[in-house]
Every structure is written in C-alpha cells, then in structure tokens.
Amino acid sequence: MIKNLLNLFFPKLCSACNNHLSDNELNICTTCRHQLPLTNFHSDKDNTVHKMLYGRVKLEQATALLYFSKKGIVQQLIHNLKYRGQEEIGQFLGEWLGEELRHIDGYLNVDVVIPVPLHKSKLKSRGYNQVDEFGKAIAKALDADYNTAVLVKTTNTKTQVFKDRLKRNLSDHSNFEIINGSSLEKKHILLVDDIITTGATIEDCANRLLLINGITLSMATMAITA
C-alpha cells in the first residue's frame, strides 16, 4: 500500500527516457537498456581503447562499456549522473561492467580500483565524484580495494566532453599528484573514469600512477566517444 502511494506521488522514472519504470525495472527501462550501445571491448584485448593509448601508456587491460555520441542515450545517462545527482546510474553501470570483468582472467588479479579524481573545488560544488559509485561497484565485483586517497587532482579544468578533438588535445593538460604511492607498490591498479575522449586525462593519470614502484595498470570507463 505504502509502496503504491509512493509510486503515485513520486514515480520512478527511467534515467534515459524519463518514462515511468515498472516495478521490476531499476534506473533504466527495458527498452532503453536494450538500446544501449555496448562496445564489448573487454572480450577483445586489441580494442579501440588499447589502440588509442598504444605508445602513450603501458596498460595490461583497457575497456569501455558503452559508446558515447552527442544527443544519444548514453549522453543523457552521463548528464543525469554528473549534473542531476543521479549517482545510482554510476552504480548500475559499475555493476554491469563489474559482472563482465569478473569473468575475464586479466581483471581477476586487480588489487585496487582508483577513480580519476575531481579537483577539490569541483568536488565541493558538485558534492560527489560521478565516478565513485561506478568504481565502488567494480571493486566489489573484483573483490578489490577502492582508493580515493592516492591520486589527487591539483588543477581545476572545464569539462572536455563537448569540445572537438583538436581543442581537447590542445587544452587537456590536467595536473595530478600521487600521495603515499608506496602503499600501492607492486599492486595491479584499475583506473576508472566516466568517458574517454582523446585519452589525455587517462594518460596524465596513468603516467603518474606508473611512477609507483612495480605497479601494473589497467583502465575501464563507462563510455568512449564514438
């Protein structure tokens, strides 16, 4: 009775299309879920993410769950996650990808999951890092630790998603620092983020993490720009 009243006055809406969700649907309706543009990169080590970062960063594994395109369903999801407080989207995508990765040998020995951090001023303004729930869900699936203390962003930069590739390459020189990196020596680290575009931010983060003695580095994102 109470549940029905709550649904009447506060209906659950799909995070992608805003239509009402049925009782057995969570976050995204069945129709939108079937329309999500999956990459299936994790089943192919020689995938687009690896090729993008080849020669720039030494990675053991690299994947992205979805393709991102302007005005597409994934853009709507990421927008709601980043700017409308719908953190449950990150958890939903993390649980989805985590379930996939835990069946792949190359990810089973991940020790620590680390999110690309926000600058402290942006974190204060937004109230949360949109990657946190995504990373936590993957860490849980892989039985790994989740660490937000080692990688720190020192420069506040504007979002890069809606810039063209040339402008991103010219402007995306974010500064990150490592704090107490010795705590992760000889660990397999999985770096996670929301979207990979040119790979510049991932490259910056990765090159700093690779300064830690003996680590192995992999990465995973919610989406990659098409």
Residue 26 pLDDT level (bands cut at 50, 70, 90): confident
Whole-number average pLDDT of the chain = 88
Q: Is residue 81 part of a domain?
A: yes
Residue 10 pLDDT level (bands cut at 50, 70, 90): low
Per-residue pLDDT, 150: 96
Return the C-alpha torsion angle 37, 157, 51, 224, nearest 10.
0
Model pTM greater than 0.95? no
Per-residue pLDDT, 171: 41
pLDDT at 226 over 90: no
Mean pLDDT value across residues 23-31? 87
Q: Is residue 177 part of a domain?
A: yes
Output the domain CATH number for residue 182. 3.40.50.2020
pLDDT at 90 over 80: yes
Per-residue pLDDT, 86: 94
Q: Is residue 32 part of a domain?
A: no
For β-strands 216-225 and 62-68, DSSP reports them as parallel
Reference 59, options 222, 221, 225, 206; nearest CA is 206
**Per-state percent for the chain, helix, strand, coil, to nearest 5:** 40, 20, 40
pLDDT at 136 over 70: yes
The domain of 151 spans 37-225
Residues above pLDDT 70, as percent of the chain: 88
Contact 211, 181 (CB under 8 A): yes
Higher pLDDT, 16 or 6: 16
Higher pLDDT, 50 or 5: 50
Name the domain count of the chain.
1
Reference 89, options 101, 81, 97; nearest CA is 81
Contact 108, 142 (CB under 8 A): yes
Mean pLDDT value across residues 182-209? 95
- Spatial separation of the C-alpha atoms in residues 52 and 67, rounded to whole Å: 14
Per-residue pLDDT, 157: 67
Mean pLDDT value across residues 78-88? 94
Task: List, for residues 154-184, the tens digit of each pLDDT value.
Answer: 887 655 444 444 444 434 454 799 999 999 9
Q: Is residue 2 part of a domain?
A: no
Per-residue pLDDT, 52: 94
Task: List, for residues 60-72, the tens digit of each pLDDT value.
Answer: 999 999 999 999 9
Total length of the chain: 226
- Spatial separation of the C-alpha atoms in residues 29 and 14, rounded to whole Å: 6
- Spatial separation of the C-alpha atoms in residues 2 and 10, rounded to whole Å: 12
